[in-house]
Structure 1
Amino acid sequence: MRRGKMLRLRRGVYVPAEVWLRSHPSERYRLAVAAESLQNPNAVFCRESALSIHGLPLLAVPRQIHLRVASRGSVRTSRQTPLTGSVSKAEFLRRARLAGVIDETEVPPYALRGFDTARHLDSGGLTQSEKQGLDLPTPAAGSEVQENLVVNVEPLALSLVDTAVRLPFAGAVVLLDAALHGAPARAPLDVAQLGEIADVQLSARRRQYLKRLLHFASPLSESPGESLARVRFHELGFAPPQLQVTLQVHNKAYRLDFCWEAVGVVVEFDGWLKYRMENSTFDEVYKQEKIREDAIRSTRRTVVRIYWEDLMEPHCRRLIELLTRAGVPRMA
């Protein structure tokens, strides 16, 4: 640590500074979860921590590690001790550069901010746990950081109900869409199952909020970006689109992200991730996207491309302009 090569995530649990600093904030969060489990092997993760372990997308990286406890006396929040120990963040980064751990690229202050630990009492009497593997960032060559760790976690449905009703509408919909859609390693959840848990665990007010969320959520959304786009359309007063409509053009099927058939408008969400896929060059993927877009336009439909920046922009001015110009109808 004094040489700028290691960071302390929890007492007795360290990570190479290179691994931490090159990781995405969501990966840093999972490293902190792993550190909590290594320090406390009996810990049962709940809320956002559990959902991250289960592989559900979180619209924002949590600020805390969430644990379930059995007694009211154990409910508390523990502050994260400094990752750099007694060395200041600025001095640690200076030493890390001298040691060749990081280059001269500016490191944002939040990169060396850890995560507090919040312990929550189960109010619904449904405390359960299961074993799950926690995927971690690939460590630097020669380090001893584990790439996968088995931890104790609350079941997905229980954690989802407990968490969704505590989040703003957009973040909750992103989670519920993903849970209802499922994944290769995760079967889709059933709405009825979530309702049964809500009847036991939630207050009347939160049950009503969950009912509203489930009415809006859809298993047809295939990515967090698509889910957030649907929320933005709704918030901005645009009519709800048809989802995943299949269009046949020249004997080839194209599945559309969003479509307003009555006005012939197609909206495609582009998260840029596909341009970084392995075994594909940017030119190859871009070419396929151009062929796809030309095919859709050949049916006399208007195609609008939107990006994460459009969904996150304050007041979504560009998104409003794009949809209005294309003729997307407003809600009655």
Structure 2
Amino acid sequence: MLHSALADDLEVALASHDGLVTTAQLTELGFSSRAVSRAVATGRLAPLRRGVYADAAVHAAADPEERHVWRMRAEAAVAHKPLVFSHASAAALHGLPFIGDAPGRVHVVAETRSGSNSAGRCVHTTQSPVRPVVVEGLLVTSLERTVVDLALTASFAAALAAADRALALIDADTPAPLLETLESLQPTRGLRRALRVLRAADRRSGSAGESLSRARMIELGFEVPELQVRFDRPGGGVSFVDFFWRRQALIGEFDGLVKYSRSRELNGMSPAASVIAEKRREDELRRQVRGFERWTWDDAISPRRFGALLSDFGVPRA
């Protein structure tokens, strides 16, 4: 246990610095190296990197994307000059989705070589002006630049999910703003893969899982369906479906398996009532088409599994 005075000082320090403190700040408060080690051992502080600690309780409750932002803040706290975060790190601050695990290192960009890669930091050098923006107190590449960087370097699925979300955030009906940013960067590598991503981007994608599903359809050579198609309900009202292959009269839906348990998505209904309502909706839709299929994240993340599912469902090849 920490001495009560030190414990109170630590609470103040964490509150004053948004839950993050450095060794230098702790030393100023009178913490010895032993006291810091004790705070870590007792679960009060969580080490983010050498010389930087977070409020352990808050850090433990954070999701992977939020924890990555904590690591970005830790790197910024000890950097000798301001860092400009990029790629997946900038994506985390812009609220773009991740496909797969959060990156192990934070990503930064510089117009000239500024430091080297390390266990906690990946440095990208660019010949183009960066022109960063400030998000939550950190310097990051712009939303459009972030998406283009991902399109040039990330997997097709990860980049498409980011591009889909970005178009919704900037309220763009076409990928023109992203293509303009790509053109301004004049990349020498990855241009073809980036064009493939950006030309396929669609703001109508309703979730990262839907973007992943569409990415797999494109990669595997299946016909790309219409998105968010409206169906009138017999008793009144409408339903929008994730995917619709009109010529085959097939409906496909990505099921994240969370919408029946997250209270903010239930519109006041209990989980059981939500399941019943969704079953009724599905039955109504099935009567209007020739086929209806659901799949989960585990299905879509596996190319072989998802390809077999689409083939068995009757989705044609492009």
**Aligned residue in 2 for 1:111:** none
Residue identity in the other structure for 2:195? K
**Aligned residue in 2 for 1:62:** 103
**Aligned residue in 2 for 1:157:** 144
- Contact 2:212–2:301 at 8 Å: present in 1 too? no
**Aligned residue in 2 for 1:132:** 135
Count of residue correspondences: 272
- 2:251 paired with 1:266: yes
- Contact 2:152–2:189 at 8 Å: present in 1 too? no
- Contact 1:157–1:189 at 8 Å: present in 2 too? no
- Contact 2:160–2:211 at 8 Å: present in 1 too? yes
Taking a change above 3 Å as real, the CA distance of residues 249 and 212 of structure 1, as seen in their structure-2 partners, is same
Task: Specify the SS of the correspondent of 2:203.
Answer: coil
Task: Specify the SS of the correspondent of 1:78.
Answer: coil
Task: Specify the SS of the correspondent of 1:77.
Answer: coil
- 2:77 paired with 1:38: yes
RMSD value, Cα: 2.2
Question: Following TM superposition, by how much is the alpha carbon of 1:69 offset from its aligned partner in structure 2, in angstroms?
Answer: 2.9
TM score, norm. by length of structure 2: 0.78
- 2:127 paired with 1:123: yes
Task: Specify the SS of the correspondent of 1:276.
Answer: coil
- Contact 1:75–1:121 at 8 Å: present in 2 too? no
For 1:64 and 1:190, the matched residues in 2 are separated by 32
Question: Following TM superposition, by how much is the alpha carbon of 1:311 offset from its aligned partner in structure 2, in angstroms?
Answer: 1.1
Unaligned runs of 5+ in 1: 80-115, 134-149
Unaligned runs of 5+ in 2: 1-36
TM score, norm. by length of structure 1: 0.75
Residue identity in the other structure for 1:13? V
- 2:297 paired with 1:308: yes
State how 1:1-332 maps to structure 2 within 5 Å.
Answer: 1-2=37-38, 3-5=41-43, 6-40=45-79, 42-60=82-100, 61-72=102-113, 74-79=114-119, 116-124=120-128, 126-133=129-136, 150-182=137-169, 187-188=171-172, 191-250=175-234, 251-278=236-263, 280=266, 281-313=270-302, 315-317=303-305, 319-331=306-318
Taking a change above 3 Å as real, the CA distance of residues 189 and 324 of structure 1, as seen in their structure-2 partners, is closer
Question: Following TM superposition, by how much is the alpha carbon of 1:51 offset from its aligned partner in structure 2, in angstroms?
Answer: 1.4
- Contact 1:76–1:120 at 8 Å: present in 2 too? no
For 2:133 and 2:309, the matched residues in 1 are separated by 46
**Aligned residue in 1 for 2:6:** none
Task: Specify the SS of the correspondent of 1:263.
Answer: coil
Taking a change above 3 Å as real, the CA distance of residues 204 and 66 of structure 1, as seen in their structure-2 partners, is closer
More displaced 10-residue stretch of structure 1: 59-68 or 194-203: 194-203
For 2:189 and 2:63, the matched residues in 1 are separated by 36
